[in-house]
Amino acid sequence: MHSPIVVKQVHELKDTQKGVELMCHEMEKIYSEGMESGELKKAKETALSMAEEGMDVKKIARLVKVSEDDIQKWIDENMCVAK
């Protein structure tokens, strides 16, 4: 690395306790966001499958633990894409 500013910043992030803690915190945040996104994607897939089988929105919402409004929105979006 040729930039003294970048060298200093990298050193602070990799070689100081504060930098390591900051990077660990950021990595945990990224991981958590990814997990939440994946869980929501799976809930949406499951909800849409249930809807295709004719299950009631209220029951789907209760089973996948998502609001009825979100379930209905996903169903409506899916119908628009299918057309």
Give per-residue pLDDT as tens, 9-56. Answer: 888 888 999 999 999 999 999 999 999 999 999 999 999 999 999 999
pLDDT at residue 10, rounded to an integer: 86
Are 54 and 24 contacting, i.e. CB atoms less than 8 angstroms apart?
A: no
Q: Is the pTM of this model over 0.85?
A: no
Query: Rounded CA gap, 36 and 40, in Å?
Result: 6
pLDDT at residue 29, rounded to an integer: 94
Are 60 and 50 contacting, i.e. CB atoms less than 8 angstroms apart?
A: yes
Residue 1 has pLDDT above 70, yes or no: no
Closest by Cα among 72, 76, 49, 45 to 61: 72
Residue 75 has pLDDT above 80, yes or no: yes
pLDDT at residue 82, rounded to an integer: 62
